[in-house]
Copies of this chain bind each other. A is one copy, B any other.
Amino acid sequence: MSDPLRVAVVGLGYWGPNLLRNLVDLDDAEVVTMCDPREHRLDHWGRRYPAIERTPSYMDVLSDDRVDAVVIATPVSTHFQLAAQALRFGKHTFVEKPLAASSEEAEELVGLARRAGRVLMPGHTFLYSPPVVLVKEMIDRGDLGEIYFVSSSRVNLGLHQADVSVVWDLGPHDFAILRYWLGESPESVSALSRACVIPGTPDVAFVNMRYASGTIAQIELAWLAPSKLRRTAIVGSERMVVYDDTSGEPVRVFDSGATLPDPASFGEYQLSYRTGDIVSPRVEPVEPIYRQMEDFCRAVRERVEPRSSAQLGLEVVETIEAVDRSLQANGSPARCRRGSPADAGMPV
């Protein structure tokens, strides 16, 4: 094996330490330094990992030649500036999701990465979750047939954030998962939301999405809900799957469907329904963050695109923006402008 990737972790708030812990466990990576402007965070995590250097100065990190890559886990509003600087200093760059606070920013990052020949990877961790990967493999094998529709609920009595809507907070999970599964982003979205508790901050949103392939999707996002619910149903012509992150059986496959015996003569009640076994495939208990950071290291080393690619991250931001536009237009459908494939954010 080659030398490990030398990494700096930037941002030691809620999520950064999770990335830090997994990078420490990874043979492929060596955490050289950690960076946070807040001294008490540096002190706290420095005691936990005494062998790792600490600095409150991001410029120290960027000017450190030992550092191959930066891993950024800071507030969304700072993503663009920190990532852009890192890329300009020639660092491979991992940024927490969403990739940036606007598609303009995201596109500029994608362009910077391409020109710099560096990996830019957003942290869509769910793409490394074993049940999500298992569903992807089933779709790619054709087990589900044509994907008719997807219905997803991601709700909980969770934390409100005064400055971010539930669409920006929870939406990236579903938008990224669907982009990964379906291999396409929606053509258009239509949305309805409400700010129930904090005026101006939507805490519930209903999003309808239409894809070029014909697939349609419905997504419910809510911070205020009677019980934790993360349930995604994917209904295909051959099989149907329910994915539930919170269940002991996170993937359940229903061998059932409806078939039209003779298109020429169908009438009322003439369909043939098929219902068969239900299978809960065994899912490997691996930590998604670990797999994600492993993929980042592999992308750098082998010069390949990570599964959670910059292009995917850009499209997720475009989808969020389209939702916002539909909300501003009282629910009228909004088109999701797509970055052209030529813009794909991979180093050559």
Would B204 and A216 count as touching, CB distance under 8 A? yes
Interchain CA distance A152-B162 in the complex, whole Å: 27
Number of copies: 4
Interchain CA distance A161-B157 in the complex, whole Å: 39
Interchain CA distance A281-B151 in the complex, whole Å: 25
CB distance from A246 to the nearest CB of B (A): 9
CB distance from A258 to the nearest CB of B (A): 5
Interchain CA distance A323-B149 in the complex, whole Å: 18
From the candidates B160, B226, B330, name the one contacting A252 in the complex (CB within 8 A): B226
Chain B residues with CB under 8 A of A209: 192
Would B269 and A159 count as touching, CB distance under 8 A? yes
Chain B residues with CB under 8 A of A228: 248
Would A224 and B218 count as touching, CB distance under 8 A? no
Using A225-B233, A280-B277, A333-B332 as known contacts, say yes or no to A190 and B204 having CB atoms under 8 A apart: no
Chain B residues with CB under 8 A of A330: 188, 333
B-contact bits for A190-219, CB 8 A (1 contact / 0 none) = 111110111000001010111000101010
From the candidates B155, B161, B241, B252, name the one contacting A268 in the complex (CB within 8 A): B161
Interface flag for A260 (CB, 8 Å):
yes
Would A235 and B242 count as touching, CB distance under 8 A? no
Interchain CA distance A252-B277 in the complex, whole Å: 10
Chain B residues with CB under 8 A of A220: 151, 218
Would B216 and A218 count as touching, CB distance under 8 A? no
CB distance from A280 to the nearest CB of B (A): 4
Using A148-B224, A269-B160 as known contacts, say yes or no to A192 and B194 having CB atoms under 8 A apart: no
CB distance from A131 to the nearest CB of B (A): 13
For window 166-204 of A, CB contacts with B under 8 Å fall at: 188, 190-194, 196-198, 204
Using A162-B267, A192-B218, A210-B331 as known contacts, say yes or no to A157 and B227 having CB atoms under 8 A apart: no
Chain B residues with CB under 8 A of A241: 226
Would B204 and A225 count as touching, CB distance under 8 A? no
From the candidates B196, B208, B252, B278, name the one contacting A192 in the complex (CB within 8 A): B208
